Amino acid sequence: MVDPVQAVLLVVIVLLAMLLLVLGIQIFFILKELRRTLSRATRVLENTESITESVSEPMSFLSGLLLSTKSLKTISKILRRAKDGD
């Protein structure tokens, strides 16, 4: 015969086993969703990187052009001073 203490322990063990099974399944789904979210975040970062590169290249070109223009202006001032000094 089953003692009442043994019956309670059996019920508790079965409930704990079912609880652990449910928790394991939930953790599996959470990790699966985390993986999906991380892959989406990676795609967003890659898109951001490509957009940043496409914007920075023209800005770099314009900056170089502006510096060239300033250099030419400075050179022309120097040449004018040299010409006016003669």
HEC letters along 5-38 = HHHHHHHHHHHHHHHHHHHHHHHHHHHHHHHHHH
Burial of 5-22, coded b for 16+ CB within 10 Å and e otherwise, reads: eeeeeeeeeeeeeeeeee
Give the pair of three-digit tokens for residue 48.
Answer: 């951001």
- Which residues of the chain fall below pLDDT 50? none
pLDDT at 66: 78
Q: Specify the pLDDT at position 47.
A: 92
User: How much is the pTM?
Assistant: 0.55
pLDDT at 68: 77
d(CA 25, CA 23): 5
pLDDT at 53: 82
What average pLDDT is seen over the chain? 88
pLDDT computed for residue 81 by the predictor: 79
Helix (H, G, I), strand (E, B) or coil at 31: helix
